[in-house]
């Protein structure tokens, strides 16, 4: 069974909220208490549960990366691997993960983008292709940050979607 925040709190003889504040580097916690909590974290080999943190923060810390439906051909183009490497490097610096999706058809791209949005799988989406598809209209209705690697969306002239 994995170690929980309650286990850490018990070991450090503090409240779970104190452990949470230490993990968030809150200045409200004394250096002595923070040291005791960090020792308990290390001793127990505690790692925060990403899913639980996502539920509490309403953030997935994940960026959706959508390849064109011709992804099998795209990977032969040196542009795409280089862009993905750059995005991955910058995402890693900010503790974000990537959710890469490819498909065989434009319909499959739309279905996957729809799942990403409706199921709140990602905090932002980067599209590595020009979008004149139904997915553009769907994305225009969301509060997600959307970045088009090549151009803005043509279907939604009232709301241009660009990198934020």
| Ranges 26-40, 55-69, 105-119, 138-152: which has the least confidence | 138-152
User: Is the fold of 5-48 the same as that of 59-148?
Assistant: no
Question: Which CATH number does the domain 59-148 belong to among 3.40.50.2300, 2.60.40.2230, 3.90.480.20, 3.40.50.970?
Answer: 3.40.50.2300
- Determine whether domain 5-48 maps to CATH 1.20.120.420: no
Residue 144, burial from CB neighbour count under 10 angstroms (0-12, 13-18, 19+): middle
- Domain positions in the chain are 5-48, 59-148
CA distance 110 to 139: 10
Q: Token pair of 54, please? A: 């996502």
Predicted confidence band at 5 (pLDDT cuts at 50, 70, 90)?
A: very high
Q: How far apart are CA 156 and CA 105, in angstroms?
A: 22
Lowest pLDDT segment from 8-17, 65-74, 84-93, 138-147: 138-147
Residue 79: per-residue pLDDT: 80
* Residue 29: band (very low, low, confident or very high) from pLDDT cuts 50, 70, 90: very high
d(CA 15, CA 5) in angstroms, rounded, equals 9
pTM for the whole structure? 0.68
- Report long-range pairs for 103-106 (Cβ below 8 Å, ≥24 apart): 103/67, 103/69, 103/71, 104/69, 105/69, 106/69, 106/133
Sheet holding 124-127, edge to edge: 97-101, 62-66, 124-127, 145-148
Average pLDDT, the chain: 81
Q: What percent of the chain has pLDDT over 90?
A: 38
String of DSSP letters for 70-139: THHHHTTSTHHHHHHHHHHHHHHHTT-EEEEE--SSHHHHHHHHHHHHHTT--SEEEESS---SHHHHHH
């Amino acid at each position: 069974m994995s170690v929980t925040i309650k286990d850490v709190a018990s070991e450090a003889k503090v409240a779970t909220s104190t452990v949470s504040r230490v993990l968030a580097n809150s200045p409200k916690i004394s250096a002595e208490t923070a040291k005791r909590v960090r020792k308990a974290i290390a001793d127990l080999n505690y790692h925060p549960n990403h899913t639980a943190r996502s539920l509490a923060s309403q953030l997935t810390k994940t960026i959706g990366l959508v390849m064109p439906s011709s992804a099998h051909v795209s990977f032969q183009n040196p542009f795409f691997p280089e862009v993905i490497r750059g995005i991955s490097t910058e995402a890693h610096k900010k503790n974000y993960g990537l959710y890469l999706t490819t498909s065989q058809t434009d319909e499959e791209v739309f279905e996957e983008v729809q799942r990403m949005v409706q199921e709140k799988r990602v905090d932002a989406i980067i599209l590595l292709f020009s979008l004149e598809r139904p997915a553009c209209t769907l994305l225009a209705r969301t509060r997600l940050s959307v970045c088009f690697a090549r151009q803005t969306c043509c279907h939604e002239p009232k709301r241009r979607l660009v990198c934020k």
